[in-house]
Amino acid sequence: MNAAADRRDLSWWVDKVAQILVLAGGLSAIVFIVGIFLFIGREGAGFIFEGFSLREFLLSPRWTPTSNHNPTFGALALIAGTASVTGLAMVVAVPFSLGAAIYIGEFATGRGRETLKVLVELLAAIPSVVWGFVGLSIMNPLIVRVFDAPVGLNVLNSGIILGLMAAPIMTTIAEDALKAVPDTYREAAEAMGATRWQVILKVVLPAGRNGLVAATLLGVGRGFGETMAVLMASGHAVNLPTSPFDAVRALTATIAAELGETAEGSEHWQALFTLGIFLFLVTFTINFLADVFVRGGLPGRRRRGRRPVASANP
Amino acid sequence: MVAGQDQAAAAPAIDVADLAIRYGGQLALAGVTLQVPRNEIFGIIGPANSGKTSFLRAVNRMDLLTPGMTVEGSVSVEGKEVRSWRNAYALRRRIGVVFPLPVGLPMTIYENVALSARLRGTRNRSDLDVIVERCLRRAALWDEVKDRLDSLGSLLSGGQQQRLTIARALSQDPSILLLDEFSIAVDPVTTMRIEEVLAELRAEMTIVMVTNLVQQARRLASQTAFFLTGELVEVGETETLFEGGARDERTTAYLEGKFG
């Protein structure tokens, strides 16, 4: 009788197949990340191991890969371009996104809150080329008029555009971080007579600190990796910026603009892939740090595992 | 003016008349009229969903923070109707609250107890030191934590956290202390220690103690109110109720453990 019951029926096989499919999905993430790294590593390898000087790459601002006599591959200006734009973007994005997250998470209620969340997500879905277009056609003349600058395509322009681009995703993550703060904390502080602002400042923000840092880091990662909008709004000139009104060129924009014009396998080609490796390492580090902050030591989360002692039945 | 002040000084700590509480139109508590005299432990007993916690929330105006919660009737604290306070925060600062599950805020033990004083603008470190030590001593926690005031309050054991919560409530220097089933997540030994603390605090403040342990009410409360499914069944001297002097047979049945 048991022999008849012990049979691998359809649901057993479905379960087995589903397990394998899900496993394959999970593994694919690892395969792709390793694959991409191997690919850009291989393309850049020739340059790194032959003509490469780390010193020149990191410290020289001269990026003249197409020079006939003396091509140079100094990425300092490009790194400075990306860093200055990203830095300014964070100055714009952090207050915006933190304010929006606090409003959505702590003040807005009901329909207003849902509407705002949808709008923020919609904002995150605007294609970057549209942002670049805004930078080119709206911000550009505006900066020229307001600041009396000779050109409006510069660090200021692309920093603001990039900040507005990064703010929605940072808002979403920061709001998640605030939502993870248990309501019991808020209630305990409110019962003490803390005002709403005091509750946010003294209890909610410190408790959500790790998530907020992670949100900022992910915004930085977004800034480093963004290409099209920066290409369109930054002026795309190899230049060590000394003021927000200087045109700069970003690492990503350089790759996007030059790779199509380069002979496959040439030194220039390999140098562009080296830029790619550098970008990959930077964004990898930033994401890793963000992950550490998301997991790291949020005291409220650690407590959650503890079950209260059951009370005696009255 | 003087007469008014005398009146306020003589008024009961909490005076409730015809209180009704609704959540989004759903009646949670109705027809409650009772007085809590000063410097007394007042017990509120009753099974789950009888409106005990809602009662406490009406006293310190947490209804302002609870969407859909509406309060009718009158609730006066020390002679002043709570809804006539223009600054509800100031009202709440005079009323300490201890919740069923201990809430160690995610900051150090020291900061947990110093928070209330800090919110009121006390900056002087030695003033804060005095407050922190006094409140932790009164909550019978000082000896266990005095060497690790800088560790996280949320890492203490459940019983310790509940005493930390009491210390934090005491740091408000409240005239009224509301306790909502404080022993639900606390071991029996710690419960007894906290009960001793409460018995001592009675001299300095009025304590309203919601409890699901009828024997706890018997040990501590001089008067006890019995709430059942949103109704105040009766309120009386604790001893009278427990000695079989309850007017309502439901009270007697509940106290004898026949339901709830």
Label each residue of A172-188 as H, E or C.
HHHHHHHHCCCHHHHHH
- A191 is a domain residue: yes
pLDDT given for residue B194 in this prediction: 92
Q: How many CB pairs lie under 8 A apart between chains A and B?
A: 97
For residues A300 and A203, is the Cβ–Cβ distance under 8 A? no
For residues A187 and A204, is the Cβ–Cβ distance under 8 A? no
Spatial CA neighbour of B99 closest among B192, B153, B166: B166
pLDDT digits (tens, 9 = 90+) for B74-112: 999 999 999 999 999 999 999 999 999 888 898 999 999
The domain spanning residue A113 has which CATH number? 1.10.3720.10
CA A236 to chain centre: 21
* CB within 8 Å: B67 and A109: yes
- B28 is a domain residue: no
Most B CBs within 10 Å, among A186, A303, A306, A307, to test the B interface: A303
- A91 is a domain residue: yes
**Among B92, B165, B257, beta carbon nearest to A193:** B92
For residues A275 and A287, is the Cβ–Cβ distance under 8 A? no
- B80 is a domain residue: no
- Based on the structure, what is the number of domains in chain A? 1
* CB within 8 Å: B260 and A314: yes
- B157 is a domain residue: yes
Which residues of chain A make contact with B47, given a CB cutoff of 8 A? Answer: 314
Q: Which of residues 185-204 of A touch B (CB under 8 A)?
A: 185, 187-195, 198, 202-203
Spatial CA neighbour of A60 closest among A238, A237, A272: A238
Which residues of chain B make contact with A298, given a CB cutoff of 8 A? Answer: 106
- A16 is a domain residue: no
pLDDT digits (tens, 9 = 90+) for B186-233: 889 989 999 999 999 999 999 999 998 999 999 999 999 999 999 999
* CB within 8 Å: A185 and B103: yes
The domain spanning residue B206 has which CATH number? 3.40.50.300
- Based on the structure, what is the number of domains in chain B? 1
Å from A102 to nearest chain B CA?
A: 17
* CB within 8 Å: B213 and A206: no
Give CA–CA dist A224/A229, Å, rounded.
12
- B1 is a domain residue: no
**Residue A168 binned pLDDT confidence (cut-offs 50, 70, 90):** very high
pLDDT digits (tens, 9 = 90+) for A133-159: 999 999 999 999 999 988 899 999 999
- A66 is a domain residue: no
Distances, alpha carbon A171 to alpha carbons A87, A162, B209, in Å: 17, 14, 42
Structural domain of residue B44, as residue ranges? 39-69+92-255
**Residue A34 binned pLDDT confidence (cut-offs 50, 70, 90):** very high
**Among B99, B103, B106, beta carbon nearest to A206:** B106
For residues B73 and B17, is the Cβ–Cβ distance under 8 A? yes
Give CA–CA dist A279/A144, Å, rounded.
31
- B182 is a domain residue: yes
**Residue A50 binned pLDDT confidence (cut-offs 50, 70, 90):** confident
- B185 is a domain residue: yes
Is the model's pLDDT at A308 over the cut of 50? no
* CB within 8 Å: A184 and B92: no
- B2 is a domain residue: no
- Terminal-residue alpha carbon distance, chain A: 49
Give CA–CA dist B136/B146, Å, rounded.
9
Most B CBs within 10 Å, among A113, A192, A196, A298, to test the B interface: A192
Structural domain of residue A231, as residue ranges? 78-297
Does residue A127 belong to the interface with chain B, where contact is any CB pair within 8 Å? Answer: no
Is the model's pLDDT at A208 over the cut of 50? yes
Of the ranges A13-17, A50-54, A56-60, which one carries the lowest mean pLDDT score? A50-54
Which residues of chain A make contact with B108, given a CB cutoff of 8 A? Answer: none
Which residue type does A186 have? R
Give CA–CA dist B253/B260, Å, rounded.
9
For residues A223 and A86, is the Cβ–Cβ distance under 8 A? yes
**Residue B244 binned pLDDT confidence (cut-offs 50, 70, 90):** confident
- A39 is a domain residue: no
**Among B45, B93, B257, beta carbon nearest to A193:** B93
3-state secondary structure of A262: coil
pLDDT digits (tens, 9 = 90+) for A73-130: 899 999 999 999 999 999 999 999 999 999 999 999 889 999 999 999 999 999 999 9
Which residues of chain B make contact with A302, given a CB cutoff of 8 A? Answer: 154-155
Is the model's pLDDT at A311 over the cut of 70? no
pLDDT given for residue A198 in this prediction: 94
- B177 is a domain residue: yes
Strand partners, A150: none
